[in-house]
Structure 1
């Protein structure tokens, strides 16, 4: 796939899209908090140049520059900024763009820490938030107020896999002079590019697909230069800094992003189709299935449907808990988008931050499971899940 306005195909971009002044094939890790200036004049220039990569690592680092160069091209933006975690990216971007008295429109379904930001943090600083059903474009438009400054989107949403019509919301926002942010974590830039659909700012938890090996936490913010400078200024204040080592690991993960996501897409779609006809599964939610209520939208704005499948096990909480415990190949752990499959009992995972009524409102039943499909052989995954499902049922 050749990216819009980019002369390189995706596979080549991931290998050659970064720039560096070193001669090694594998870039060095600049594991230094601070950098030497040759004289007072050079120091003054370093200190007063935004995002200087050789002044102080909270401001920037040569390894950050190389990773950001690839990520900006992946999302089709002018620039990218790295943070120490996905929530570092989301919180930094949002806090850079709103002030007391402003209003934000967000979805009723977001990653749970994003929801906390809107429910608990922003109101403390005089920012009001209206949560709207993401599948209802008209409702999002109706929620806009005179003081609305930002619309926050996440598609597919975690963990229900509902979709937001990015082009439609981007058009509404531009007509009203409102900025938009889209969390593109569950899709990855291989499968979906919100900026090309009109979204202003794209954020990722780079812990997921971009790193791809469950060995780092990282975040990324992709946007134009003007917004990038404003968000970077907030970033230096909040200090969600990505270490040089983690930036280097992220760069290494990016080299194989396209081939990993291609295989993950294939595995997840095959597994979703298999689960959809399994006698011990009540329902399956995956944008790539024709049964998904927004499948046509998924085909329109996504080129692949990602790793995450949500499904309901026949029975209740106890049977689902037993099923998860019986699974051997997929690791019982949070996160997604890595080389190996992960599985969580969603109701159990979210019970610490949501009560039963909130989970009902979020369409998270007690028998709900979220699976991130990895690179294992599809027949091995099917055999393992089938065995676990049969063991979970009363004998």
Structure 2
């Protein structure tokens, strides 16, 4: 086959070389370490004169297969797989930044990432500034000589706001900054930020990549030069993904496209239903024409993703009543699962933010985030309808 293979084919057919047993599906390599042929082989391996597995904290065949798949999906040169999404976020920044460096981040980021910037990095004299997601033109004036990174999520968590990745790519290139994009809500199937100028892309593999709420995982992919720095930091500090979880995720990626297609189909129908409901104040979904960044979403995403955000009329009390009335859907803090999940960001994922900080990114007391699953859409809507009534 001369031409490059399609996304779905790469997800299924990218795998390890078969062993002498000629297995059809890649086996699990549940080993902490690997043996050497002789003293010279061991010396050369540790001297990095040859590429081979030494210790599963550094690399493992299952992790390598998972990384290879994601790199092909994202159009990246290399990657490293982590024990969780937040391990990927922390390790990526820690590997690339030094004391005195400055991060420019979108104001709308995951609660734990916000805490990392505001509570922990200042201890190491790493500072940050937040820019508003709908005012990217202000970023130029916020860049300082100490600025090293521009960071953003798109779509954002939990408000499913959209940032113009191409505009961010231009700004990063103009100032010679590293652009890091959290692509977790979209998955590589719906969006590839590297095409728009991102240097690194981060995922929580726990979400859509696994898709069934089984394992924790994270991954960072991008340029070989930057990933090498992340790899060298991570092989010492030890946040590596376990071989078992890597095997699960590699198998999960085989069905990513077909699962995400159904997620998006269900989410679109739910968003359209909620938009007409008299007990809903507002609805946000990237592929609704009412979304303020609809045109940008259509330009950089294949479909709108699995997350719908909305507000129940009546504030906190009405929101609590709604959550307590849910019967079928799960009350949980995860997303991207085959099971639909309802989350109250103000009291869960973003509870560590102050009321003012939540308000600044559009998280109200009545805000609801639904990760729309793979159940029949009539059952999903039916449960939400009875909870609202």
For this structure pair, what is the TM-score category when the shorter chain's length is used for normalisation? over 0.9
* Alpha-carbon distance change, 50 to 110 in structure 1, aligned in 2, over 3 angstroms: farther
Distance 2:206 2:266 in 1: 20
Name the structure 2 match of 1:20: 17
The answer to whether the 8 Å contact 1:51/1:60 transfers is no
Q: Which stretches of structure 1, 4 residues or longer, exceed 4 Å deviation after superposition?
A: 50-53
Q: Does 1:7 align with 2:4?
A: yes
Maintained 8 Å contact 2:110/2:349: no
Q: 1:350 to 1:246 in 2, by over 3 A?
A: closer
**Paired residue secondary structure (2:348):** helix
CA positional deviation for 1:352 = 3.9
Is the Cα contact below 8 Å between 2:15 and 2:26 reproduced in 1? no
Higher RCO, Cα 8 Å, sep 6+: 2
Give the distance between the partners of 2:70 and 2:332, measured in 1 at CA. Answer: 27
RMSD (Å), alpha carbons: 1.6
TM-score by length of 1: 0.95
How far apart are 1:153 and its partner, in Å? 1.2
SS of residue matched to 2:63: helix
For these two proteins, the number of residue pairs brought into alignment is 386
Unaligned runs of 5+ in 2: none
CA distance in 2 between counterparts of 1:225 and 1:77 reads 8
User: What is aligned with 1:38?
Assistant: 37
The superposition leaves residues 18-41 of structure 1 with CA deviations (integer Å, 9 ceiling, x where unpaired) of 332422112111111111111111
Pairwise CA distance, 1:351: 6.3
The Cα of 1:127 is off from its aligned counterpart by 1.5
C-alpha contact 1:102 1:149 (8 A) present in aligned 2 = yes
Q: What do residues 258-303 of structure 1 show as CA deviations (whole Å, max 9, x unaligned)?
A: 0000011110011101100011111101111111111111111111
Q: Distance in 1 between matches of 2:3 and 2:157?
A: 30
**Are the structure 2 counterparts of residues 93 and 255 from structure 1 closer, same or farther at C-alpha, using a change threshold of 3 Å?**
same
CA-CA distance at 1:361 after TM superposition: 2.1
Q: Per-residue deviation at 1:350? A: 4.4
Instruction: Name 1:96's counterpart in structure 2.
Output: 95
Instruction: Calculate the TM-score normalised by the size of structure 2.
Output: 0.96
Contact 2:16 2:61 in 1 (8 A): no
**SS of equivalent residue, structure 1 residue 190:** helix
The Cα of 1:52 is off from its aligned counterpart by 5.2
1:393 aligned partner: none
| Residue of structure 1 equivalent to 2:388 | 389
Question: Structure 1 residues 31, 223: CA separation in 2 closer, same or farther (over 3 Å shift)?
Answer: same
Alignment of structure 1 residues 1-395 onto 2, 5 Å: 7-22=4-19, 23-49=22-48, 54-350=53-349, 352-390=351-389
Q: Distance in 2 between matches of 1:249 and 1:78?
A: 23
Distance 1:349 1:101 in 2: 32
Q: Deviation digits for residues 337-364 of structure 1, max 9, x if unmatched? A: 1211111122221464123222222321
Q: Give 1:50 deviation, angstroms.
A: 8.9
* Structure 1 segments unaligned to the other structure (5+ residues): 391-395
* Structure 1 position 306, deviation (Å): 0.4
Q: Distance in 2 between matches of 1:112 and 1:330?
A: 23
Tell me, yes or no, if the aligned pair for 1:313 and 1:369 is still in contact at 8 Å.
Answer: yes
